[in-house]
Amino acid sequence: MEKDAKIYVAGHRGMVGSAIVRKLQSEGFENLLFRTSSELDLRNQAAVEDFFQTEKPDYVVLAAAKVGGIVANNTYRAEFLYDNLLIEAHIIHNAYVTGVKKLLFLGSSCIYPKLAPQPLKEEYLLSGFLEPTNEPYAIAKITGIKLCEAYRSQYGCNFISAMPTNLYGPNDNYDLQGSHVLPALIRKFHEAKVNSQPFVEVWGTGTPRREFLHADDLADACFFLMQNYDEALFVNVGTGEDVTIRELVEQVQQVVGYEGEIRWNTDRPDGTPRKLMDVSRLHDMGWKHTTELKDGLERTYQDFLANVELYVE
């Protein structure tokens, strides 16, 4: 990418988008294009068309999405499917219409079948049934991948896709009804510590295994792919390492400094038994994560403390 190129980062205020903005700025890219959701409703076809026709960005990073944890995904099934379909369809189509040089679409590891072999290889897509609780979101993200593939095949567009594993870091969502497991744990343990609560309830059995990637590492991988990758097949982005939810809970408890009891509510769902990404393709290209989970958790908790009034309304 040229240093003076106009780069549109969709979703720039979210955890992923803001990390990508920080990375681009650190690399000397200043001609960055943003719109908040109140300024541009990405679900509005005419508004997105007008934006692209007016601004004509050279490059696009599509990090905008409606996201959430198990409860949010399972409760707002129609919104997770409808909103995400509209967002990606409008941006990808108008990137083609206005001649965007390259677009990066960001998906999610939940695109893979619930019982796919581990670790998850890119070719396992559409090889089995999805996890029911987040099926609408997964279908939307699969559609985004297929849109990029179709516009590449039919029109020759250089549209690529990356599938991140579970993410954490600055600007995460700490709402207990809508957040993912890691930010929810940070908030739960922090509030239990501050309020001297005798125990913290954690959902499930603690046996599922999950992989976690710091948002700044994802941003670094996205920058790497924008500079070096031009192929149709999407790319897994992760650490290639996982931990049990129980191990994660104990690490968060330690980082926060909570000394009470942990109670496991086994009436609550576990979700997918394991979701470990096979990141050998990305490693073979020359990219690897640099933030280990313990260091990342400590940095994330310090960010939470510094912005607790912003994160917890």
Res 133: pLDDT: 87
Catalytic residues: 137
- Angle of CA points 98, 101, 103, to nearest 5°: 95
Is the Cβ–Cβ distance between 205 and 270 less than 8 Å?
Answer: yes
Tell the burial category of 310 from Cβ atoms under 10 Å away from its Cβ (0-12, 13-18, 19+): exposed
Instruction: Tell which residue, 181, 190, 223, has the closest CA to residue 16.
Output: 223
Res 118: pLDDT: 93
Res 70: pLDDT: 76
- Residue list, annotated binding site: 11-17, 106-109, 141, 164-167, 180, 188, 203, 210, 270
CB atoms within 10 A of CB 177: 11
Could you tell me the residue ranges of all domains in the chain? Answer: 7-172+212-240+276-290
Instruction: Write out the chain in H/E/C secondary structure.
Output: CCCCCCEEEECCCCHHHHHHHHHHHHCCCCCEECCCCCCCCCCCHHHHHHHHHHHCCCEEEECCCCCCCHHHHHHCHHHHHHHHHHHHHHHHHHHHHCCCCEEEEECCHHHCCCCCCCCECHHHCCCCCCCHHHHHHHHHHHHHHHHHHHHHHHHCCCEEEEEECEEECCCCCCCCCCCCHHHHHHHHHHHHHHCCCCEEEEECCCCCEECEEEHHHHHHHHHHHHHHCCCCCCEEECCCCCEEHHHHHHHHHHHHCCCCEEEEECCCCCCCCEECECCHHHHHHCCCCCCCHHHHHHHHHHHHHHCHHHHCC
For 65, residues 6+ apart whose C-beta sits below 8 A from its C-beta are: 11, 14, 84, 87, 88, 106, 141
Res 180: pLDDT: 82
- For the 7-172+212-240+276-290 domain, the top CATH level (class) is alpha beta
**pLDDT, tens only, 75-99:** 889 999 999 999 999 999 999 999 9
Instruction: Locate 284 and state its tokens.
Output: 């073979």
Res 238: pLDDT: 98
pTM exceeding 0.75: yes
Q: What torsion, rounded to 10 degrees, do the Cα atoms 293, 296, 297, 300 define?
A: -160
CB atoms within 10 A of CB 146: 14
Residues of the chain with pLDDT under 70: 178
Res 270: pLDDT: 81
Res 271: pLDDT: 74
- φ/ψ of residue 82, rounded to 5: -65, -55
- Residue list, annotated binding site for substrate: 188, 203, 210, 270
Is the Cβ–Cβ distance between 236 and 122 less than 8 Å?
Answer: yes
Res 92: pLDDT: 98
Res 253: pLDDT: 97
Res 302: pLDDT: 97
